[in-house]
Structure 1
């Protein structure tokens, strides 16, 4: 059983291993969006956005609902927002440590 959990985690983090996919998930953390809205917010062309959405769909990170000819995307699990928030906190902690180290280096110069 541990291996299947580890494999799930590995696949999950692989799905997060692209900056645009992370940005899409951050946007969807704020609410559902259609492809055109995502393209505008990401300032990216349709094929690139569609490709990344395809990966997120394949890994079951997003839900889709079709309304007429429009596909609406949302987060499959709201805990993804929490995970992204924790990742941001970890980044900030590393940034604070780096700034502190640079300040120490500058003091020694």
Structure 2
């Protein structure tokens, strides 16, 4: 059995396309400078909307719009504490990928 036959016997093509579609949607959701910056800050832990506004030097409306997209895509979760809303990265897989991106693109070179 050659490699292609072996791989096709182990993987369902329809399932692979479905997972590929999910990965593409995830990457599209992250493919925005503002959303990537938010995620780089969330790698370090939960942040309130106000904290993110200050860290990004952005208006509340802009930060909230990007957080809404990340929330819709299931990338971040939130909790309320009084009037404050706190966001965090929702999924361990997302945290791993964003951590890698953070290390590659956000950490200063020594």
The question of a shared fold, defined as TM-score above 0.5 by the shorter chain, is answered with yes
Cα displacement string for residues 34-67 of structure 1 (whole angstroms, at most 9, x for unaligned residues): 1000000000111111110010000000010111
Match of 1:9 among 23, 40, 59: 23
Give the structure-1-normalised TM-score: 0.75
Q: Is 1:20 matched up with 2:39? A: no
The within-5 A match list for 1:26-105 is 26-87=40-101
Matches of 1:27 and 1:88, distance apart in 2:
9
Contact 2:43 2:98 in 1 (8 A): no
Contact 1:29 1:78 in 2 (8 A): no
Tell me the C-alpha RMSD between the 2 structures: 1.7
Matches of 1:87 and 1:71, distance apart in 2:
25
- CA drift of 1:90 comes to 6.2
- Give the helix-richer structure, 1 or 2: 1
